[in-house]
Amino acid sequence: MQPHYLGVDIAGYRKTWMCGLTLRDGKLVLAETLRRGSLEDIVKYTEEKQVVAVAIDAQLTWAASEARGFRSSDKELRKMLPYECQNWVASQNSLAAVPVRGRQLAEILSPTVGTIIETHPRACLYFANRSLLELVKLYKKPNGEEHARKLWEAWTDRFSIDTTLSSASDFTDDALDALVCAKIGYLFHNSPQQLWRLSHSAVDKRGRGPFLVSLPDWESELVGRDGSV
């Protein structure tokens, strides 16, 4: 059985999306139609498939010393984003349920999946092609499906992903985020030089990591900073 790489866009019970990618004839493809899934559904998928990596859109590490809810990795990511987009990286204190569900999922997947990482799909979309910034700003807004579709096409073209199984209903911000997460899991195992590692430096940190995003397409401007995996 070919390895599977799973992406999870964590939200509430009815808004958590999952996406599985695998290789067929040397090409990265959707393992099945994207879908919403409960935490139980996600665990079942990892037990039935040979899932070697799960990338989750949620803060999976924390530290008691970071009372404001911003980790050093969050602050680093915010500085890499345009000023008007820095609110894409929120304090985990303000997100409450998302980090909790993400950590629950990481914990229950630990006996089954060897690689469990954190990512930030919105930042990844921007870093992969900053000329698409306006689309990335808009795809999570009401009626943003058309922007999500354009980003979907740009992402799948950039990384040569066959999404034949997808449908028009997949062009939502949640489905796109799950797809991006799955690709980050794939890159961690197959092309880690295309990733940027964000550093959580708190000595009392807990949880699962690392926190990885796609390598910015302006990497040469980040002289003196070695965050590549």
Name the pTM for this structure: 0.94
DSSP states along 174-200:
HHHHHHHHHHHHHHHHH-GGGEEEEP-
Query: If you count them, how many residues does the chain have?
Result: 229
Say which DSSP state 100 is in: H
Taking only the tens of pLDDT, the chain with its 229 residues reads 799 999 999 987 778 999 999 999 989 999 988 999 999 999 999 999 999 999 999 999 999 999 999 999 999 999 999 999 999 999 998 987 899 999 999 999 999 999 999 999 999 999 999 999 999 999 999 999 999 999 999 999 999 999 988 888 889 999 999 999 999 999 999 999 999 999 999 999 999 989 999 999 876 555 445 555 5
> Which residues contact residue 215 at a Cβ distance below 8 angstroms, ignoring those fewer than 6 apart?
127, 193, 194, 195, 196, 228
